[in-house]
Amino acid sequence: MSEDASLPPSVVAGLTKVSHDLQARYQGVFGLETVRELVFDSYIQLAVTAKATNWLVVGAERFATQRLDALVHADARSDERVPSVLFLCVHNAGRSQMALGWFNKLAGDRAMAWSGGSDPGNAVNESAVAVMSEVGIDLSRQFPKPWTDEFFKAADVVVTMGCGDACPLVPGKHYEDWDLDDPDGKSVEEVRLIRDEIRRRVVELMVRLDINSSV
C-alpha cells in the first residue's frame, strides 16, 4: 500500500518511524514494505471511527503489532503453536474486550488471542473497564478495532457474541456463539453479571482447549 497523500506530513512521519521500529523488532521475519503496509492500513482502519486522532499513531503501532504477531502464529509449525482464539462482537467495546481480558489473564503465555468488531465503536465501554478493573484486569488502554484477515488465519477458535450475519464464516475454523447481553446501556451491577458469565465461559473454553489456568 502506498502512503495516503491525504495524511498530514506529521502523521506520515510518525507512521514511517513506527514502521522502521517494528521492522527492526521482526528482523528476518518481515520486510519493511510488509510492515509499512500493515502500519498505514492499521492507522486508516482505526481512523474511520475515531473521534480523537491524537492517539492514532500509537494505536496503529499496537494494532499492527497484533496483526504481525498473528501472521507469525499462523505460519508457525504445528508443534510450536499454542492454541489461539479470536473473540468477535459488534463494537469490540464490551463483550469481546472482556473475554480477551479474561482469556489473557487466565491463559497467560499458554495461548494467544485477539478481538475485533463488525462495526467498531469509538471507545471501550466505561462500565466494562470499571468492572474488569475490580478483578485486576486493565482495559483502559484498549481500543475498538475491526477484525482482520490476519486474526482469522491465526485463530483456531472463533467466538462470536451478537454480531450475527456480520461475523464472517471462514472454512476450517471452529466457531462458537456466546449468547451474552451487550453491556451498552447497562448498569454497573448488570455489567458485573456479564463479566462473571464471560469468565465462566472462558474457563470452559480453556478446558476444551486443554489450557491450564495461570491463576
Write down the H helix ranges in the chain.
9-25, 32-47, 56-75, 95-107, 126-133, 149-154, 188-208
Q: Please say whether the beta carbons of 103 and 170 come within 8 A.
A: no
C-alpha angle 16-21-24 in degrees, rounded to nearest 5:
125
Q: Is 167 assigned a catalytic role?
A: yes
87 tagged catalytic: no
Can you read off the three cell numbers belonging to residue 212? 491450564
Out of 60, 128, 167, 194, pick the active-site residue.
167
Decide if 171 is catalytic: no
- Decide: helix, strand or coil at residue 174: strand
Residues 6+ apart with CB under 8 A from 146: 45, 92, 116, 117, 118, 120
Length of the chain: 215
Cα separation, 136 vs 166, whole angstroms: 32
Find the catalytic residue in 70, 85, 163, 202.
163
Distance (Å, whole) CA 63 – CA 58: 9
Set 46, 56, 70, 89: catalytic member: 89
* DSSP per position, 74-121: HHS-TTTPPPEEEEEESSSSSHHHHHHHHHHHHHGGG-EEEEEESS--
Residues annotated as catalytic are 89, 163, 167
